Amino acid sequence: MYHFEMGPIRPPSEGNDRSLLIRVNRNCPWNHCRFCNTYRGRRFEYRSVEEVLRDIDTARAIADMLKKVSWELGCGGRITQEVIEGTISQYPSIYGRQAADEEELSARLHCLISVANWLSSGARTVFLQDANAIIMRPSELVRVLNYLKETFPTVERVTSYGRSKTAAQRTLEELRALREAGLMRLHIGMESGCDDVLAFMKKGVTAEEHINAGKKIVAAGISLSEYVMPGLGGRKWSECHARETAEALNQIGPDFIRLRSLIVRRNSELGEIEAAGEFEQLDEDGVVEEIRQLVEGLNCQSYLTSDQMSNLLWEVEGKLPGDKPRILEEIAQYQRKPHRERLRFRLQRRAGSYYSVYGGMPKHLASKVVEASQALDDQDTDPTPLVEEVIGELKQGFV
């Protein structure tokens, strides 16, 4: 069909088409987390090995097509915009307006551009989708990994999302077999190490299971990224969330700790719970303080990063424990700012994040940002309610 399946999300570290996306299963097998809407209303589907291998073959065919056109155009195998446009024009039976219906044609073009960008970045990494690739039977996933290496010899790293619950159920030997076959890194959504928070958010896993799974992944030689969600405990569990998450991470010792500050989506289950008065969000200053407590409690040798637009302080990044004092000072510099300066910083940072992702802003939202900026300049009024409202609307557009 000249296209292969791709799921809706991947980590920022696999973004900008640096990784080839191969979908080994559809959606999320758990899909009950109250804060997550990504797969809401979508049924989990287990893809067969044959389906996945066909997608790999399709990606290879597209790659071969692009390389052929590149040489024909005198680009020496390099993949450029000229090569992409040349491929579209040279294969009207695949990419022409009459070649397929609008949906199918869009899927073909999307895959063409994705493979082209992947090739131009070196074709070194692959990301297995969707939410929990390791739920695939280990022997079948090994087949997929081996076939990827055979089909794309340039691939150096294969990564995927995974659930702690699933990883904890795998034997150490099974995880080592996946590592030997080429699974180099797992991205695990820990979110919290506090059992009260995990239970309230219907995460479907305990802190002990997070720790056991993380230790097993590390022992198998697979690089581990643990995702933590500042603010997830709300006001009620903030201190427990920070303290016990740090304790869990210290026991695991992951390679990466990635912060993903909570954004309550209006149409999420958590948004409904908040509207009913059963969950109280921390304000952004409260989230910053919670991150400070988390960092203060960390004594593992991990790389801490804020590589996602939900985070206010991008500066919270560095190798622990050596960079811990500097990171804490970055947080302290923000906390020492007067209230109005913190508001201005937050508005500018959130608006900048929005622009960096979308390249622009709807007129009504841009007008509100201007209005909030002007309110910050008026020393006779309190700009807090307006600025908070605008920031909240900006964050609803964050991905």
Question: For residue 278, what pLDDT is reported?
Answer: 95
Q: Which residue has the tokens 């340039």?
A: 154
3-state secondary structure the chain: CCCCCCCCCCCHHHCCCCEEEEECEECCCCCCCCCCCCCCCCCCEECCHHHHHHHHHHHHHHHHHHHHHHHHCCCCCCCCHHHHHHHHHHCHHHHCCCCCCHHHHHHHHHHHHHHHHHHHCCCCEEEEECCCHHHCCHHHHHHHHHHHHHHCCCCCEEEEEECHHHHHHCCHHHHHHHHHHCEEEEEEEEECCCHHHHHHCCCCCCHHHHHHHHHHHHHCCCEEEEEECCCCCCCCCHHHHHHHHHHHHHHHCCCEEEECCCCCCCCCHHHHHHHCCCCCCCCHHHHHHHHHHHHHHCCCCCEEECCCCCCCCCCCCEECCCCHHHHHHHHHHHHCCCHHHHHHHHHHHHHHHHHHHHCCCCHHHHHHHHHHHHHHHCCCCCCHHHHHHHHHHHHHCCC
Greatest distance between any 2 Cα atoms in the chain = 68
- For domain 12-335, say whether CATH 3.80.30.20 is its number: yes
Per-residue pLDDT of the chain (399 residues; tens, 9 = 90+): 799 999 988 888 777 668 999 999 999 999 999 999 899 889 999 999 999 999 999 999 999 999 999 999 999 999 999 999 999 999 999 999 888 899 999 999 999 999 999 999 999 999 999 999 999 999 999 999 999 999 999 999 999 999 999 999 999 999 999 999 999 999 999 999 999 999 999 999 999 999 999 999 999 999 999 999 999 999 999 999 999 999 999 999 999 999 999 999 888 899 999 999 999 999 999 999 999 999 999 999 999 999 888 999 999 999 999 999 999 999 999 999 999 999 999 999 999 999 888 888 999 999 999 999 999 999 989 999 999 999 999 999 886
Task: Give CA–CA dist 300/283, Å, rounded.
Answer: 28
